[in-house]
Amino acid sequence: MHSEAQTKTVKGQITEYKIPVVKTYQIKGVVTDSTGAPLSGAQIMVKHGVVSASSDAQGRFTMMVSPDDKALICYFPGMKFTEAPISPTTKTITVRMLPDNQNHSITRQQSQATLWFDPNNDRPKTYCNPVNIDYNFEYFNHSNNKGISCRSTADPMIVPYKGKYYLFSTNQSGYYISDDLTKWKYIFAGFQCKPNDDDQCAPAVEVFGDTLIMLGSTYKDLPVWYTTHPDDGRWKHLAETALLPHWDPDLFLDDDGRLYLYYGSSNEFPTKGVEYDRASFRPKSVIHDLILLHPELHGWERFGMNNDDSLTLKPFVEGSFMTKHDGKYYLQYGAPGTEFKVYADGVYVSDKPLGPFVYQQHNPFSYKPGGFVLGAGHGGTFKDNYGNYWHIATCMLSLRETFERRIGLYPAGFDKEGTLFANTAFGDYPTTIPLASEDHAKGNFTGWMLLSLHKKVWASSSDSIYLPENAADENMRTYWAAATGNPGEWFAMDLGAEKQVNAIQVNYYEHKANQCGKAMDVYHQYKIYASLDGKDWQLVVDKSNNDLDVPHDYAELKQPLTTRYLKIENVHSASGNFALMDFRVFGKSEGQTPAGVSKFVVVRDKKDARNAAITWQAVAEAYGYNIRFGTAPDKLYNCITVYDATSYDMRGLDKNTTYWCAIEALGESGVSPLSKPVKCQ
């Protein structure tokens, strides 16, 4: 029990000061060396406090301490710092100090380049979701998170501007810049007024000539910001208030120069749209109701982790985003809830920017309910510098806190009929960044297979239930944690045989972290070693001098590595213990690719056509499966990745739509042929 806090008031020259008053008691003690000889001039300090004393020629000291003080710390040159516990019953104490013969010199060395990785010249041609940005730690006690220290962002959009890509998302105290979509540089640009406020929630950004305009979510007065130099993080006010109360806004500048605002996040009210006056930045048209959910028709719009909760809440429609393509207006929206693996983006199409809009037959167009990364909702669609479309979206995590999230980037496009799609197949595997125009319907998968799933693993230590196998299960919502965050903690994996490794993804987790909000001294440092026999280890990736915060770090190797064993050793943890969601290894194994899947059956629920039971026969050497489906045999745009199962409970179908479904097996040596599409009506 803590002692009662009391204060006394002291009048100063300008103001009154309240001075804490606590009960104290006296401790007497002696400080000696290891032989019992007294130490004169030893410093005795209250741990985590200001009270201190020095020992006299006989090693004696006297000091007043509080009942809340738990320990004393003793220092003497050449001796180890010594901690001595105390309590209110402690009246006398003897502190025996031991010689400190350890060399405490701080060593610094440059990271080493190896045959496989050069930390000073890392120019990957691929990336791997989740996007590797320095996800901000949530603000202290923000959104009732009770002071939990965890990372998050959501509601992303990427804006091409002057040849670069600018990534904006929720509550990052800034944004990110990239030249090529593989590496992102953080730019600090804080807009938070009070500690519990949002910084920018679901910001909308649009390019006006040489100027970027930004609008944040608000039900109160927020400015409209602008900049012509986003690289320096400085913004000015275009307007002091955006006037309309709006959440999840999107700004759209049409080819004719007219400006529109789309907004809304609700499970009661529709998303809305309005034309804005560019000169005054005030609404100039009537406000149009645009999109309401119809979960009774669209299975994927139903609430719940697997669209299976019709009781808790009605589903949410949110995250408006407009894309114009070939004269058509594609109004995108997120549903049913950001905390679910089925969080997805749908789209309505119109000939006019404010409608009327028609539901696209292929929906949701951005969908990822399976695999390591889950969810692909509330995002934005953009063109890269080569004319290829991409979709960036929100991924659920919701482990320590409901709104704990990440983001993913997926190839997207429009087919010849004008159907918008996002290709999430292999959406959490290494993905190639194109250097020219290409067909995103075919995807950008490198062909590097997952080699780490359910492999034998072991570690230097484990904290409680956070065991090593959790870092090899393709589940973002489990993790391994070492007992400490100290240098030298390590995690090792046996791939089972010699394999060809092309890339490694290091997914950290914030176990016992204490960071809240943005800090510029948060970074990760580690080394990765390889071995053929588990005894002799060779350095492969050296990031021991890294100064960046890389919670989902991705190392693309310069040349394939042949190895059986891998080990990652901690050098510096960003905050808290050394902990890994998953240590993911990609490459190829020798042998035949898996055979095609047989006995693939899709049974539509006769009572509820929004549901279907999907089953298949297991394939030898397969570690997982991709279920592909769409509205025609040549439009299998959606994909569900399944591990450790030969069935799937599908609840995301549209009631009145006929589907076609196919399946492929995933093995360490490659992907099986896709099965013949089956009709599902």
Q: Is the pLDDT of residue 162 over 50?
A: yes
CA-based torsion, 169, 175, 180, 181: positive or negative: negative
Considering only CA atoms, which of 171, 99, 40 is closest in space to residue 516?
Answer: 171
Q: Residues 450-472: pLDDT tens digits?
A: 999 999 999 999 999 999 999 99
Q: What is the pLDDT of residue 105?
A: 84
Q: Is the pLDDT of residue 289 over 90?
A: yes
Q: What is the pLDDT of residue 556?
A: 99
* Eight-state DSSP code of residue 232: G
Tell me if 501 sits within 8 A of 584, measured CB to CB: no
CA dihedral 177, 408, 203, 278 (to 10 degrees): 80
Residue 25 pLDDT class (50, 70, 90 cuts) = very high
What span, in angstroms and rounded, lies between the C-alpha atoms of 126 and 481? 28
What span, in angstroms and rounded, lies between the C-alpha atoms of 426 and 652? 20
Domains along the chain with CATH numbers: 6-96 (2.60.40.1120), 129-428 (2.115.10.20), 450-588 (2.60.120.260), 601-680 (2.60.40.10)
Cα separations (Å) of 54 from 25, 82, 87, 94, 599?
Answer: 18, 14, 20, 14, 81
Q: What is the pLDDT of residue 234?
A: 97
% of the chain residues with pLDDT over 90: 90
Q: What is the pLDDT of residue 143?
A: 65
- Residue whose tokens read 């047989």: 598
- Residue whose tokens read 């719009």: 301
Angle subtended at Cα 100 by Cα 94 and Cα 103, rounded to the nearest 5 degrees:
160
Q: Is the pLDDT of residue 441 over 80?
A: yes
| Three-class secondary structure of residue 174 per DSSP | strand
Residues β-bridged to residue 400: none
Angle subtended at Cα 151 by Cα 146 and Cα 156, rounded to the nearest 5 degrees:
120
Considering only CA atoms, which of 216, 218, 177, 188 is closest in space to residue 200?
Answer: 216
Q: What is the pLDDT of residue 144?
A: 66
What's the average model confidence in pLDDT over 647-660? Answer: 98
Q: Residues 321-342: pLDDT tens digits?
A: 999 999 999 999 999 999 999 9
% of the chain residues with pLDDT over 70: 99
What span, in angstroms and rounded, lies between the C-alpha atoms of 262 and 248? 8
Q: What is the pLDDT of residue 8?
A: 73
Q: What is the pLDDT of residue 194?
A: 84
Q: Residues 70-100: pLDDT tens digits?
A: 999 999 999 999 999 999 999 999 999 999 9
Q: Residues 584-621: pLDDT tens digits?
A: 999 999 999 999 999 999 999 999 999 999 999 999 99
Q: What is the pLDDT of residue 3?
A: 47
- Residue whose tokens read 């519990």: 196
Q: What is the pLDDT of residue 5?
A: 55
Cα separations (Å) of 584 from 147, 399, 671?
Answer: 30, 19, 18
Q: What is the pLDDT of residue 1?
A: 44
Tell me if 639 sits within 8 A of 586, measured CB to CB: no
Angle subtended at Cα 406 by Cα 540 and Cα 410, rounded to the nearest 5 degrees:
80
What span, in angstroms and rounded, lies between the C-alpha atoms of 299 and 308? 9
Taking all residues of the chain, what is their mean pLDDT, rounded to a whole number?
95
Cα separations (Å) of 12 from 5, 16, 18?
Answer: 22, 5, 10
What's the average model confidence in pLDDT over 121-144? Answer: 92
Residues β-bridged to residue 250: 262
